[in-house]
Amino acid sequence: MHSKISRRHVVGGLAGSGLLAALQGAGVPVTVAQQGQQLLVVQWGAAWIEISRKIVEEYTAKTGDKVAWELHAGGAMAIVAKVKPVWPRVSYNVISGWDPVFRAMIKEDWLVPVTLDEMPALKDIPPAFFQKDKDGRLMSVPLSTAGAFWGYRTDLVDKPIESVEQLLEPRFKGKLCVPFPVNLTGLLMLTLAVQRGGNERNIEPGWAFLKELAEKGQIGRVINNNSEFINAMSSGETSVAFFNVGAWTQVRKRFPVKMMTRLKDNKGFLFNEGFAIIKGDDPAKMAAAKRFANHFATPEINEQYNWPLGSGPTNAKSKPNPDIADVFYTPEELPQFAYIADFEFMASQVDGWAKRWETEIAPLIRRA
């Protein structure tokens, strides 16, 4: 009586005996689909999950890895609050997020470092885009470049704006739209501080500039989210603003907008979205998680991923969507025009900044 032995049994037996790795190391082709891992990945909904599912279809066919998805509930920072009380009993292998989320997870020591040797696509991503731990190890996989920028509607502003200092001019009375400090983890305070020679750890120049704007009545709207920003800028109630590129993209679809991304005396404040690899007990799953994240970072896939999102690709070999090409920077332009904030520090300050706004700035805006 002959027993039926399938190719799966053979490959499984080879893996169990250690011969599989030896065969592959010797260049013997062995079907990797039989070695696939099951991953659980947290991703944003809407366009993010739609394009991710399309990308993963081909990826699964090539690697055998299967992906189950869980969507962020609310803002990405909510996943930190969800994981913290049950750590280390979590089933996530990869979590999408942006820089402040990665900083929070690095602080909790939940993440696996990544290296250029094991994830070769990362070699084409500018070093400044990665979040690092105290030892300088790479702790995130940057996939998308986003940012916050000053900009204005050219149909409502009669002369070009070449410096943020011009916003004190009488023609901009009541025309500025700015976010409440909690939004964007306080980047409004940072851009104003940079304008006057400060930074996130020397924020007082920013408060001084903000008080000038408020006292002169320049601030017409203080917004809390994308919808409020889009409404304020679309109605013509305000004509100049500082906010995130995603919301600006929606306004640009309907109105002529000049993005002030290459100012001589200020910066574009960049942040990155991408993946983090979560610690676990199964080395094979962690290896698969890195394989998965590396796939999204390759030039072709990074481009495919970002075009529908209106975000800039992080891989230097990927082409940005022409609709947003003027917003983002080449690697050579980054030192001159871009600012990567210390979001971990800013997150520790932003509650205090919000309280100070209510006592020092809000009364000035109301009186003006």
- Residues 104, 247: one domain? no
Based on the fold, state whether residues 130 and 279 are members of the same structural domain. yes
- Give the pLDDT confidence of 85-119 residue by residue, as tens digits: 999 999 999 999 989 899 999 999 999 999 999 99
- Going by C-alpha positions, the residue among 208, 206, 212, 179 that lies closest to residue 193 is 206
Q: What angle do CA 27, 32, 38 make, to 5 degrees?
A: 150
Residues β-bridged to residue 240: 152, 176
Range of the domain at 301: 36-142+271-324
Rounded to the nearest 10 degrees, what angle do helices 245-252 and 226-235 cross at? Answer: 40
Question: What spatial distance separates the first Cα and last Cα of the chain, rounded to whole Å?
Answer: 94
61 and 170 both lie in a single domain: no
Instruction: Mark whether 42 and 98 lie in a shared domain.
Output: yes
In this structure, what CATH number is given to the domain that contains residue 157? 3.40.190.10
Check residue 75 and give its pLDDT: 67
Question: In the beta sheet, which residues pair with residue 11?
Answer: none
**Does 183 share its domain with 132?**
no
Output the DSSP codes for 162-202: --GGGGGSGGGTT-EEEE-TTGGGGHHHHHHHHHTT-BTTB
358 lies in the same domain as 216:
yes
The number of distinct structural domains making up the chain is 3
DSSP structural state of residue 352:
H
Nearest to 312 by CA among 160, 149, 137, 100: 149
In a shared domain, residues 171 and 277? no
Half-sphere exposure of residue 175: CA atoms within 13 angstroms, side-chain side: 18
Q: Alpha helix locations (H) across 130-282?
A: 187-195, 204-215, 226-235, 245-252
Do 205 and 262 reside in the same domain of the chain? yes
Asked if 209 and 339 sit in the same domain, the reply is yes
How remote is the C-alpha of 316 from its chain's centroid? 16
Q: What is the pLDDT of residue 7?
A: 34
Residue 317, number of CB atoms within 10 A of its CB? 13
Packing angle, helices 299-306 and 46-63, rounded to 10: 150
- Whole-number pLDDT of residue 266: 97
Residues 217-258: tens digit of each pLDDT? 999 999 988 789 989 999 999 999 999 887 888 899 899 999
**Per-residue confidence (pLDDT) for residue 368, from 0 to 100:** 80
C-alpha to C-alpha distance for 325 and 329, rounded to whole angstroms:
8
Question: Are residues 137 and 260 located together in one domain of the fold?
Answer: no
Ordered mean pLDDT values, 10 residues apiece, the chain (368 residues): 38 40 40 72 90 96 96 82 95 94 94 98 95 97 94 97 98 96 90 98 98 98 88 96 88 93 95 96 97 98 92 93 83 91 89 95 94
- Same structural domain, 211 and 359: yes
Q: pTM for this one? A: 0.71
Pairwise CA distance, residues 129 & 272, whole Å: 7
Q: Mark whether 2 and 70 lie in a shared domain.
A: no
